[in-house]
Amino acid sequence: MTQQPGDATNAVAASARDLIKVYGKGEAEVRALDGVTVDLMQGEFTAIMGPSGSGKSTLMHCLAALDTPTSGEAVVDGTSLGKLKDKDLTTLRRERVGFVFQSFNLVPTLSAEENILLPLSLAGRKPDRAWFDQVVDAVGLRPRLGHRPSEMSGGQQQRVACARALVSQPRIVFADEPTGNLDSTSSAEVLGFLRRSVDEFGQTVVMVTHDPVAASYTDRVLFLADGVIVDELRSPDRDQILAKMASLQDAAVKKAAS
């Protein structure tokens, strides 16, 4: 699970500079992000981990141009998001970012194929047929292309979502707990595919998860607690991750007790 030689490994796909996101006011104030600075590398599979409520999703939303931070700067593919208007953010999402969500990934009224091609048809772009075929074969969905989401299992649906995220050849793919609703077999299929997309297509993938097994598929794991990055691991295995998580959990429990 190493990076392919010759890749522009040092290039930054997305980065955060002192990101702060505050929800609510006064008593109800929640600092979901409390000064996050991080670089996400191109061609890397990065996991963001942390206890529930630690700000993982918020970080991802801010990096993926879905939400705006209270302060700080988010940069995607060299573009600083802070100065962009809704229209430009939309274009950026459409052209340079791919998404896989935990649930409700697919438009129920469209077939698998139509769902996969949705970002392209939104942009009014013609699909690259060869690339489409390659992606579809990689997720193993060819026989299911004509099916509606309701006719597919959760794992199949997530794979359709993955294929959709890749088909527009974005600079970076964000996945928020993509295996959160799946059983272990389906999870393995989805994670395997994301791994392959990094290895074979040189895709950049950022995944939020709290599952150590899922995180063990990645090249790099960032640990988040109370809205700050507290640690990181490179090419981790399951046990390392478990240990890290356990210590974070302890710290959280202690902090809550004090």
Partner 1 sequence: MLLLTWRNLLARKVRLLMSTLAIVLGIGFLAGVMTFSTGLNATFQNIVSGSTPDGLVRPAGDVSGANAGVATTQLITPADIDKIGALPEVAAATGSVDGFGSFLLGKDDKLVGGQGAPTLAFNYAPGENMAGDEVLELSQGGWPEKPGEVTLDTSSAERGGYDIGDTVTMIVPTEVQDPRRTFTLVGTADFNGGGTAGATLVLLDTSEAQEIFLGGEDAFTSVALTAADGVSQTQLADAADAVVPGGFTAVTGDKVVKETQDQIGQFLDVISIFLTTFAVIAIVVGAFIIFNTFSILVSQRVRESALLRALGASKKQVTRSVLIEAFLMAVVGATLGLLLGLGLSRLLAGLFRTFGLDIAGDVLTLTPFTIIAGYVVGILVTMVAAFVPARRAAKVPPVAAMRDDLVVQEKGMGRRLVLGSIAMAVGVALAAAGLVGAPGTDAIWIGAGAVIWVITTAVLAPVLGHPVLVACRAVFGRLFGTAGLLAGENALRNPRRTGATASALMIGLAVVSAVGVLASSLSATNDKVVDDQFKSDFLVQMPTFQGFPSGFGDRMQDVDGVDLVSRQQGTPVSVDVDGTPDQTFAIGVDPGFFEIYDLTMIDGTDQISGHQTLLSEGRADDLKAGPGDTIDVEFPGGKKIPLEVVGVFEDTPTTGGITFPLSVLADAGIKRSDSTLSITLADGADRATVKRDLEDVVKDLPILSVQDKEEFKELISGQVNQLLYVIYGLLALAVVIAVIGIVNTLGLSVLERTREIGLLRAVGLSRRKLRTMITLESVAIALLGAVLGMVVGLVIGVVLRQSLKDDLTVLSLPVSNLLIFLVVAVIFGVLAAIVPAIRASRMKVLAAIATE
Ligand X SMILES: Nc1ncnc2c1ncn2[C@@H]1O[C@H](COP(=O)(O)OP(=O)(O)O)[C@@H](O)[C@H]1O
Task: Give which of 161, 249, 143, 243 is closest to 205, Cα–Cα.
Answer: 161
Closest CB to ligand X among 123 and 253?
253
Residue 54 binds which entry of Mg ion, partner 1, ligand X, none, CB below 5-8 Å type-dependent:
ligand X
Minimal distance in Å, beta carbon 117 to ligand X? 29
Whole-angstrom Cα distance, residue 26 to residue 255? 22
Q: Which is nearer to Mg ion, 63 or 120 (CB)?
A: 63
Whole-number Å distance between alpha carbons of 10 and 16: 16
CB of 203 to Mg ion, least distance (A): 22
The interface with Mg ion within residues 43-62 (CB under 5 A) comprises 57
Least distance to ligand X, CB of residue 57, Å: 3
Task: Specify the residue, 103 or 240, whose C-beta has the smaller distance to partner 1.
Answer: 103
**Closest by Cα among 13, 11, 4 to 199:** 4
User: Binds 52, which of partner 1, Mg ion, ligand X, none (CB < 5 to 8 A, cut-off by type)?
Assistant: ligand X
The span from the CA of 38 to the CA of 79, in Å, is 15
199 lies in the site for partner 1, by CB under 8 A:
no
| DSSP H helical ranges for 111-237 | 112-123, 129-139, 154-167, 184-201, 212-215
Determine if 53 is a binding residue for ligand X (CB under 6 A): yes
Using the contact rule CB under 8 A, the part of the chain among 98-106, 128-136, 187-195, 238-246 near partner 1 is 98-106
| 32 interacts with, out of partner 1, ligand X, Mg ion, none, CB within 5 to 8 A per kind | ligand X
What's the CA gap between 125 and 146, in Å, rounded? Answer: 21
107 in contact with partner 1 (CB under 8 A) = yes
**Is the Cβ–Cβ distance between 76 and 39 less than 8 Å?**
no
φ, ψ (nearest 5 deg) of residue 115: -65, -45
How far CA 185 is from CA of 145, 179, 181, 192, in Å, comes to 21, 10, 12, 10
Q: Which of ligand X, Mg ion, partner 1, none has residue 99 at its interface (CB below 5 to 8 Å by kind)? A: partner 1
Residue 88 or residue 137: which is nearer to partner 1 going by CB?
88
What separation in angstroms does the CA of 73 have from each of 35, 67, 97? 10, 12, 17
CA angle (98 as vertex; 123, 240 as ends), nearest 5: 175
Q: How far is the CB of 243 from partner 1 (least distance, A)?
A: 30
Interacting residues with ligand X (CB under 6 A): 23-24, 30, 32, 50, 52-58
Interacting residues with partner 1 (CB under 8 A): 57, 61, 66-67, 86-87, 90-91, 93-95, 99, 101-105, 107-110, 114, 118-119, 121-123, 164, 176
